[in-house]
Amino acid sequence: MHLFRFGKKDQERPGVIFKGKKLDVSAFGEDYSELFFQHDGIARLKEYVAENEGNLPVVGDGERFGPPVTRPSKLICIGLNYRDHAIESGAQIPTEPIVFFKSTTAICGPNDDLIIPKGSEKTDWEVEIAVVIGKKASYIEKEDALEHVAGYLLHNDYSERAFQLERGGQWVKGKSCDTFAPLGPYLVLKEDIENVQELGMWLKVNGELMQESTTSEMIFDIPYLVSYLSQFMTLLPGDVITTGTPAGVGLGFKPPKYLKPGDVVELGIEKLGTSKQHVKAFGNDQK
């Protein structure tokens, strides 16, 4: 069973993919929030769907996908977690995870437009696998980490490189612009992924393949990252951890390539689905 949210922006309703059908589970009465995950929501939802499958409305193919989780307390990012990306960025291979945050206001649906920020000239792409926390985690060991994971998401960690690297301070400035965190199309539960460290991943810009790798190339794997982060902060149910990108970002080309209005970005991760963003310029309607 996969979890998704659908409908107009800020009016999304919960749905599931069950036996190949997209079903509206609004009548379950809970959105996919911190409280849902905290109170064993996945197990309760599975039972509800199994009992009510024949009576649940089918979600039409034309419905917009929203982000599969709502209002996470944190969106935590890991930088330079693929060797080839660290090399193309001119950075040293990390000996400990590089941790930064991305504002949760950047979160949007998987196929929503990417809005190039006001004053931006260096907006870049990054295909990543993200982890959704299912159970509160604090000071946990690596061997216990996956017990605290609900599942996995496709994420495009958009970055404005001038804001991130050329204007001083922390990376968060170049990571947090509106529409810079499309998530989904759905949350794939951990039990539906046999080995999360063996998933192919790719990204195209205007049909040209820019990134192609697998999650096996991570420097720090997902159990390590969940455990590591829990040593410094409490991870709450619904929190999202995004785990870094492989080589092929615009910054790494010589000369660099950055996004412009009219471009189309497509990306996917094996078993986690695909997404597509049309690139638009910041305008008066985004004030």
CATH code, domain with 189: 3.90.850.10
> Residue 166 — pLDDT band, cuts 50, 70, 90?
confident
| 203 to 90, 129, 179: CA distances (angstroms) | 21, 12, 17
Q: Are residues 36 and 134 in the same domain?
A: no
Q: Are residues 248 and 206 in the same domain?
A: yes
In a domain, 163, yes or no: yes
Q: Are residues 74 and 36 in the same domain?
A: no
Q: Are residues 160 and 77 in the same domain?
A: yes
Q: Are residues 49 and 93 in the same domain?
A: no
Please write the tens of the pLDDT for every residue from 220-245.
Answer: 999 999 999 999 999 999 999 999 99
First to last CA, the chain: 38
Q: Which domain holds residue 235?
A: 67-286
Please write the tens of the pLDDT for every residue from 77-121.
Answer: 999 999 888 888 888 889 999 999 999 999 999 999 999 999 999
CB count in 10 Å sphere of residue 77: 28
In a domain, 141, yes or no: yes
In a domain, 61, yes or no: no
- Non-local (6+) Cβ contacts of 94 within 8 A are 79, 80, 81, 86, 219, 220
In a domain, 219, yes or no: yes
Q: Are residues 136 and 249 in the same domain?
A: yes
> Residue 60 — pLDDT band, cuts 50, 70, 90?
very high
> H/E element holding 17?
strand 13-18
Q: Are residues 237 and 102 in the same domain?
A: yes
Q: Are residues 51 and 193 in the same domain?
A: no
Q: Are residues 10 and 114 in the same domain?
A: no
Q: Are residues 40 and 124 in the same domain?
A: no
What percentage of the chain carries pLDDT values higher than 70?
99
Q: Are residues 112 and 241 in the same domain?
A: yes
DSSP state of 93: P
Q: Considering only CA atoms, give the Rg of the chain.
A: 18
CB count in 10 Å sphere of residue 66: 29
Single pTM value for the model: 0.96
In a domain, 13, yes or no: yes
Q: Considering its fold, how many domains does the chain have in total?
A: 2
